[in-house]
Amino acid sequence: MRLNILIGGKAGQGINKVSGIVARALVDNGYFIFNYRDYPSIIRGGHNFNIISVSDNRIASHESKLDGIIALDELTKRIHEKELKKDGFMVDYKEFIDFGINVNIALAGCLMKILGLDKQVLMNGIKENMKGKKTFQQSLKAAEAGYSSQENKYGLKRLKGKVSLMSGSQAIAIGAINSKIDLYFGYPMTPSTNAMHELASMQFDKEFMVFQPENEISVVNMALGASFSGAKVMVGTSGGGFDLMAEGLSLQGQSEVPLVVYLASRPGPATGIPTYTMQGDLDIALRSGHGEFPRIVIAPGDPLETIEKTNEALYLANKFNCLVILLSDKHIAESEFSSDEKVNKPVAVRVVRKIPGESIVKASSYEHDEYGLTIENKDIAVRNAEARLEKYKQIQKECNKFEMIKVHGKRDSKNLIIGWGSTKGAIIDAIDGSDFKFLQVLYMKPSSHQIKNEMLKAKKVILVENNLTGQLGRLIREKTGLKIPNRILKYDGLPFRSDELRAELEKV
């Protein structure tokens, strides 16, 4: 069973409220959902929509054809009517216009009844979210009216499984807290901002601090200062903010002060289309900053992986006094994923270096001797450069302890798909029941030796990426010498939809 239901309207009409109430009710009843958010870069008006995909099996993507539309305005009907299946339903806001700002609550009631979910679940959700507000009683009346106006179309029954719901931004916060983070620095920039908000909401209970400096240059330098003093730190940003941090990343490479950067990608260059998604920042994650110094780049594909890889990032940064970049994007950060899996036990993050107060410690942006004193000696410069390279070999060995790649699908298939990050959900849903194997790359740097082995076993290799030039494919060619001739690339600011991707894969 699979349904795709769109909820659309203007920014400010409460679309997220509707999808949130319904998604929570579905998850509480044991269903798997994927909630995709689509919105322009404006505060009021425009066209916003969420697509809730529902299934009794694991899913992590949405499809192009809709089973239903909940329309909070005329524009939603006009734009999406052609995507509605022949037997699909549409609920119009006009029936409930008298409820004013509670139209969205009435429409949530409509959708709950159409799905066949218990009315009391809806009422409990409203009480939990709105009790104490002036419109509380009116909200209850609106929900009742919406629920009573519809027929039970799908008759969804309560399932036995226990399912959780989480966004990638929430996962960043959990991973950081599991690692006993001391400080998180960030300057607001979509789509990294929500992770900062999640962490800020928990900082007093969990005894750490979130701080917003005046810009991203301050973010990275304050983080390095805090890390130098022995704090476990993390920073968050997106493309343009990450560009501003480049000099600070090089300072990290010379000073060897641990640093973790959460880079939530969005389409560029420059401001691009800032509220949409893209995998265009792999190259800058791998190479940003001048000079040669060790770094680790990790790209999780869903919230559970994000929790685990955030923990690994903080562990590795503090073990090797190095730079770790946690690479994500808007699709993971702001979509909601459901799961019945458990998170692996976190690895302990420890500060292993000397810190001020315990001894005299000097960190400098200049090449230096073993005491941290500035030098311009060629022999010492060579020795330090080689030591940085030797550290990278140690990092590679340590990273092998973690999942650097994952293989999904039919394990003995000769049709190999290679992808990373947020393409994971759509690829897994697209190949369900088909003759494909999917190699998901989690560690971009260092890279796994198993990638080449899997490629050599395959007859046909297909690259799937959300960017224009196939940046992972280029990295794989650099590391293995193997070119991937078959490429499915998407770069319109939107994620892959699983049914469309399935058709493209079958063509190849």
What is the CATH classification number for the domain harbouring 256? 3.40.50.970
94 and 224 belong to one structural domain: no
A 10 A CB-CB count for 25 gives: 22
A 10 A CB-CB count for 388 gives: 16
Q: What is the pLDDT of residues 319-370, one digit of tens each?
A: 999 999 999 999 999 999 999 999 999 999 999 998 998 889 999 999 999 9
Predicted pLDDT at 128: 81
128 and 53 belong to one structural domain: yes
* Mean residue pLDDT across the chain: 96
Q: Region 216-242: what's the mean pLDDT? A: 97
| Cβ contacts of 67 within 8 Å, gap of 6 or more | 3, 4, 5, 85, 88, 89
179 and 308 belong to one structural domain: yes
439 and 370 belong to one structural domain: no
Percent of the chain with pLDDT over 90: 92
Q: Region 9-37: what's the mean pLDDT? A: 93
84 and 132 belong to one structural domain: yes
Q: Region 47-68: what's the mean pLDDT? A: 97
26 and 131 belong to one structural domain: yes
Rounded to the nearest angstrom, the gap between the alpha carbon of residue 101 and the centroid of all alpha carbons in its chain is 31
The answer as to whether 161 is a domain residue is no
The answer as to whether 159 is a domain residue is no
Predicted pLDDT at 43: 86
A 10 A CB-CB count for 293 gives: 20
Band of pLDDT at residue 36, cut at 50, 70 and 90: very high
Predicted pLDDT at 462: 98
Say if residue 346 is preceded by a cis peptide, omega within 30 of 0: no
Q: Region 40-49: what's the mean pLDDT? A: 92
Q: What is the pLDDT of residues 399-433, one digit of tens each?
A: 999 999 999 999 999 999 999 999 999 999 999 99
234 and 378 belong to one structural domain: yes
Q: What is the pLDDT of residues 63-90, one digit of tens each?
A: 999 999 999 999 999 999 999 999 999 9
DSSP per residue, 90-128: EEEGGGGGGGGGGHHHHHHHHHHHHHT--HHHHHHHHHH
The β-bridge partners of 66 are 84
244 and 379 belong to one structural domain: yes
pLDDT at 129 over 80: no
**Where in the sequence is the domain holding 453, given as residue range(s)?**
405-507
- Tell me the one-letter amino acid at 279: Q
> Where among 148, 176, 193 does a domain terminate?
148
> Where among 399, 419, 442 does a domain terminate?
399
Predicted pLDDT at 388: 93
The answer as to whether 160 is a domain residue is no
> Where among 113, 148, 183 does a domain terminate?
148
The answer as to whether 252 is a domain residue is yes
Taking a C-beta distance cutoff of 8 angstroms, is the pair 6, 49 a contact?
Answer: yes
201 and 319 belong to one structural domain: yes
Taking a C-beta distance cutoff of 8 angstroms, is the pair 352, 318 a contact?
Answer: yes
The answer as to whether 443 is a domain residue is yes
For residue 368, the 8-state DSSP code is B
The answer as to whether 158 is a domain residue is no
409 and 395 belong to one structural domain: no
349 and 228 belong to one structural domain: yes
For residue 50, which of 21, 29, 82, 89 has the smallest C-alpha distance? 21
Predicted pLDDT at 17: 86
pLDDT at 205 over 80: yes
A 10 A CB-CB count for 129 gives: 15
Rounded to the nearest angstrom, the gap between the alpha carbon of residue 87 and the centroid of all alpha carbons in its chain is 33
pLDDT at 132 over 80: no
384: Cα within 13 Å, side-chain hemisphere: 22
Q: Pairing between strand 460-465 and 323-329?
A: unpaired
CA torsion 252-254-255-259 (nearest 10°) is 20
Q: Please, what's the b/e burial string for 395-420 (b: 16 or more CB within 10 A of its CB; e: otherwise)?
A: bbebbeebebbeebbeeebebbbbbb
Taking a C-beta distance cutoff of 8 angstroms, is the pair 437, 448 a contact?
Answer: no
Domains: count for the chain: 3
The answer as to whether 235 is a domain residue is yes
* Cα–Cα distance for residue pair 315/322, rounded to 1 Å: 10
What is the CATH classification number for the domain harbouring 98? 3.40.920.10
Query: Which region among 40-49, 53-62, 190-199, 394-403 has the lowest average model confidence (pLDDT)?
Result: 40-49
What is the CATH classification number for the domain harbouring 465? 3.40.50.920
Predicted pLDDT at 131: 74
* Cα–Cα distance for residue pair 380/361, rounded to 1 Å: 19
The answer as to whether 155 is a domain residue is no
Q: Write out the H or E segment, with its range, that includes residue 71.
A: strand 66-71
Rounded to the nearest angstrom, the gap between the alpha carbon of residue 328 and the centroid of all alpha carbons in its chain is 5
* Cα–Cα distance for residue pair 109/115, rounded to 1 Å: 10
97 and 204 belong to one structural domain: no
pTM: 0.96
| Cβ contacts of 90 within 8 Å, gap of 6 or more | 68, 69, 70, 71, 77, 81, 84
Query: Which region among 110-124, 272-286, 440-454 has the lowest average model confidence (pLDDT)?
Result: 110-124
Predicted pLDDT at 166: 97
Q: What is the pLDDT of residues 266-288, one digit of tens each?
A: 999 999 999 999 999 999 999 99
Band of pLDDT at residue 122, cut at 50, 70 and 90: confident
